[in-house]
Structure 1
């Protein structure tokens, strides 16, 4: 893979840098760095306004085809955009699920009416989306979904419960995997539905986290309704749509994530130099190892994305997505652990009395990164995918 930038790509990188430098000023500058993992509650309305400014200038949905008002950027230009956005420490987005997951899924599987209805509002950040996949007994084992949907008088009526529903309390819509064929089991008989959240049949309960945030939610559907034509793909064939969506989950935006990781690592190194722990050869070796590993992770991610783009790999078939998820999630957890070792005894104490958890950045990093190896597909699931679908090993025995 040749990573040498063309003159066109170099000009595009400068365009992104210039636009961000010119606009991340004044009130927007105060938002820099806000809204990262575990901090979705920070300045939400202000970040929403920033995201709408991005949309006005054509900086949302940059990888979507131009026919759907995207920029139609090449793979490498998308990487450039997300890397420069992260380097500028611009505020985190508010509609990741709509822009990077549902939008491409509708483009691939949705009807013309669904594309016309939803895509412009996603691109303009006018409607925000949540993901209704996991349930109390169907988290990593998504095929065990028990939420039910039935057609009644021209509408889907939905009953069941979803959990770990990120930012449902801030969202307008939720894409929901529900069992629509009575008596069906596993991945058969599921439908992929688009459900409005502002209705009497939906109750959203935020889940308090160790970091004191609560972007995860339980969502209860009790006779909730959505129009009959708001099923993506054919009724009962939602498994293929759901898996197609997961194929978009670890796209080019993850390269920007590695830039954020590098900034976090630099902050830990700076703290180690400030408090003298850098003089400990074990600490210094661990920090050096993390730096080398992060560079390797980025190189692997670039190669994997190039293979996917070229049709030589896939999220499941070639295992690139699973390998990348295993790599960055475990790296980030290790960074959190090293950050606490660098902090020493000071890391055991919170500052101030305003809230029960007034955490510094490294305490929050340590606590939230514990979840990295679980959400988005746990380590165990990723290893099973690699073992069964890539290496061809026997499937894991199911309990009776």
Structure 2
């Protein structure tokens, strides 16, 4: 592994840092967050403004081709920018799905008219997209999508969408959504799918926010009640929706950075020094507490080394290996364990909100409510472990009884 920037990378890092210094406020603490007290709608609007600011400076989509308005940069440059931005107070990125998944898929498979209409407004934050993939019966196995797209029989050149999606991030704020729907149930499950885009304000689109334990509603249920979409809103060929979806999912590869918030184990150490142990002495003097701290340290350092190895591969123009799937399993559990540790150390006070305990408790509170969901999002722990077993360890694959079977024959 190479832990140092090359000369061009160091120059790009300096450019990013100088721009950020001129346009954002540097954090006073590593766990400081932007916009405490802002509502979700206000945070999304702040994210729109920040995305526009980045796009005008050339940092809005670093790896996109210049023809699409991007910088034409490398994945390593994207990582460098993210590392530098993480040291400044900026809004939470509401455009991760739009620019990291949907628009790359639309750019690769959509029509010239679709690219001309949608790429630039998304890049500059004027239009927000969501991705309508998961369903109540199709989460980790997206091949089981049951939302239907049926050809109109009334003379209109288009389709009627009927179905339900779930866990759709920012659907309540989105302008458009990319929908994966079944157009041919007589084909095997992955072969009968087609992608469309839908106006989230169109007749028949119903968004129901899912209230989380934290009180926020970042995710949503979306019901498509015979929503008409003209055939011009189809993305790619009929029954080629899985190919479009895989392009979107593969575009997530740059999310390898930022698995663990900076300074996590140091935060655990500080809490142990402050909190009393069972005998009144500081908790750090208790061997059982030190054991938990050591495990937190080893996990965070191991994940950092894995990220460094992936970044080295990117810097050499290589693709990171499938072992990065391990980062999701270990990372999500480490965040959850840190929250448990912090609550144990705080005792009864841990039940008090960050409004009373101060901003330093906000990050702990967020992890307490959100880390468990990370073990589900993007594939459950069990699904990812199967992937690691098959692709990394070379174990026999899971038995498949649905290959080549028409979807309508599957239970």
Q: What interval of TM-score do these two structures reach, taking the shorter chain for normalisation?
A: 0.7 to 0.9
Contact conserved, 1:41 with 1:215, CA < 8 A, in 2?
no
Contact conserved, 1:151 with 1:228, CA < 8 A, in 2?
no
Deviation, 1:58, is 1.9
CA distance in 1, matches of 2:214, 2:234: 36
Q: How does 1:89-238 map to 2 (within 5 A)?
A: 89-152=89-152, 153-238=156-241
Higher Cα Rg: structure 1 or 2? 2
CA distance in 1, matches of 2:104, 2:376: 24
Deviation, 1:116, is 1.8
CA distance in 1, matches of 2:239, 2:82: 36
Deviation, 1:385, is 2.1
Partner of 1:262: helix, strand, or coil?
A: coil
CA distance in 2, matches of 1:90, 1:292: 29
CA distance in 1, matches of 2:354, 2:335: 24
CA distance in 2, matches of 1:35, 1:396: 48
Contact conserved, 1:207 with 1:218, CA < 8 A, in 2?
yes
Which residue of structure 1 lines up, in the alignment, with residue 371 of structure 2?
369
Contact conserved, 1:160 with 1:220, CA < 8 A, in 2?
yes
Which consecutive residues of structure 2, in runs of 5 or more, have no partner in the other structure?
Answer: 27-31, 276-281, 402-409
Matched, 1:283 2:285: no
Which consecutive residues of structure 1, in runs of 5 or more, have no partner in the other structure?
Answer: 27-31, 354-358
Matched, 1:300 2:302: no
Relative to 1, partners in 2 of residues 1:180 and 1:4: Cα closer, same or farther, differing over 3 Å? same
Relative to 1, partners in 2 of residues 1:351 and 1:103: Cα closer, same or farther, differing over 3 Å? closer
Deviation, 1:342, is 2.3
Contact conserved, 2:104 with 2:251, CA < 8 A, in 1?
yes
Which residue of structure 1 lines up, in the alignment, with residue 29 of structure 2?
none
Q: How does 1:281-360 map to 2 (within 5 A)?
A: 281-304=287-310, 306-307=312-313, 318-350=321-353, 360=362
Contact conserved, 1:313 with 1:319, CA < 8 A, in 2?
no
Contact conserved, 1:62 with 1:78, CA < 8 A, in 2?
yes
Contact conserved, 1:332 with 1:369, CA < 8 A, in 2?
yes
Select between 336-345 and 234-243 the one with higher mean Cα deviation: 336-345
CA distance in 2, matches of 1:312, 1:66: 21
Contact conserved, 2:75 with 2:314, CA < 8 A, in 1?
no
Which residue of structure 2 lines up, in the alignment, with residue 273 of structure 1?
273
Contact conserved, 1:34 with 1:42, CA < 8 A, in 2?
no
CA distance in 1, matches of 2:35, 2:59: 18
Contact conserved, 1:157 with 1:223, CA < 8 A, in 2?
yes
Partner of 1:270: helix, strand, or coil?
A: helix
